[in-house]
Each structure stands twice: as structure tokens, then as C-alpha cells.
Homo-oligomer: A and B are copies of this chain.
């Protein structure tokens, strides 16, 4: 049944979970869809519709139980679990990713870092020693990994994605500036600052046109 939930809905759930987590830390026990929506620039109707895919939460006019809804979202998304991540490409960006402090507290542990550059291999980044990318498949056979992060140049990104998928990974986070393909049953997310910028210039142009 949950297979029919639109991907855009799934993509919003972590945002709701994060906002609820902040509310819980502030000691709030109840939140209305209006107040939650105000925090996130999402309409209350959208929030209610998104959550309706997963059952009934909250009572009309009473708002949501913060801890109850948070627990449910964490279960749906697997946020309470530990997930193992490997990073392929340890240039400046990959380096920043491996050393980024935001993953581990959220249950994402980076267990392997790989590069083809002989100067990088063997270097310590964070708590890891960078491995030769040639050892990727051998590593993945013996170390369970859930998510592969691709931080290599665009030209070799598809090849790296194919190798990760071939080794059995089903979730890819791609930082390379190209839309890598994955087969059915594999999920991929692209981190692409150029696309993000290009989606904003439309609005800058509009505002300039409105000012005349």
C-alpha cells in the first residue's frame, strides 16, 4: 500500500520530523498543522494531506501530539536505525562530506571512503583511512553499506554509480553535476547547487520585471 505514496510526500516527511524534533526539544507537546506549516513554509492542508497517507494523526481542532507524531515519522523513515554510508571521491568536497558533523548524530555512519588518486589513498580523513577505489567492490562484499555517496567528477559519476549499484547498494546520494541513472528498485538523490541556483534565477528575473 505504501508503495503508492508519491515521492514528493516521502521527501517532505524528514522535514516534518525535523521540525517536530525541534518542537519536542522546546518542550511543546501539541502543534497545529497551521503552526507546523508556518515553521516550514508549507500549507496546513498540504501537511494534513501528506500525513493522511500514513493513518490518522491529531484530532480536528486539537492539533498533533508532537512526540506521538514524531515517533511515528521516525519509524516510517527508519530514523531510529543506524545506516552505513560510504563516500566515493575524497577531493575537497568529499573531504568536507566525510568530516561533516551532521550525519552521525542522525544515524548515518560513514564507514568507508574511496578515491582513485594515489596521493589521497591512505590519508586519514576524519576517523577513516582513504581506500583505493579499486577495492570498492571487495570492501562492499565484506562491509554492509546502505547508502553510497558519490563525490567524483561528472565524467566518471555514472560509472561509480553503476559500480555501487552493481555491488548491491540501493540508495545513492550523488554530488556530481550530472543526473546519474539507476535501475528500478534503486533510489537516488542529487545534490546539485547549479540546478538549485537555476531554479531561483527565474524568480529574480520575475521580480526585476515586476519592478520594471
Size category of the binding interface on chain A = 35 or more
Which of the segments A23-31, A60-68, A200-208 contacts the partner chain?
A200-208
B17, B18, B77, B181: the one contacting A41 at CB < 8 Å is: B181
| List of B residues within 8 angstroms of A198 by Cβ | 13-14, 17, 77, 79, 106
In the bound complex, CA of A187 to CA of B196 (Å): 11
In the bound complex, CA of A102 to CA of B191 (Å): 13
Q: Mark out the residues of chain A between 86 and 119 whose CB falls within 8 Å of any chain B CB in the assembled complex.
A: 91-93, 95-97, 99-100, 102-103, 106, 108
B97, B146, B204: the one contacting A146 at CB < 8 Å is: B204
Confirm or deny: A199 has a beta carbon within 8 angstroms of a beta carbon on chain B: yes
Confirm or deny: A173 has a beta carbon within 8 angstroms of a beta carbon on chain B: yes
Q: Please determine whether A202 and B77 come into contact, CB atoms closer than 8 angstroms.
A: yes
Answer whether A189 and B194 are a contact pair too, CB < 8 Å, given A170-B207, A179-B15: no
Q: Please determine whether B92 and A95 come into contact, CB atoms closer than 8 angstroms.
A: yes
A179 to chain B, nearest CB (A): 6
Q: Mark out the residues of chain A between 156 and 190 whose CB falls within 8 Å of any chain B CB in the assembled complex.
A: 170-171, 173, 177, 179, 181, 185, 187, 189
Confirm or deny: A134 has a beta carbon within 8 angstroms of a beta carbon on chain B: no
A144 to chain B, nearest CB (A): 12
| List of B residues within 8 angstroms of A138 by Cβ | none
Q: Please determine whether B78 and A199 come into contact, CB atoms closer than 8 angstroms.
A: no
Known: A93-B100, A97-B193, A102-B177. 7 other contacts (CB 8 A): A11-B195, A14-B198, A92-B96, A95-B96, A103-B193, A106-B194, A108-B194
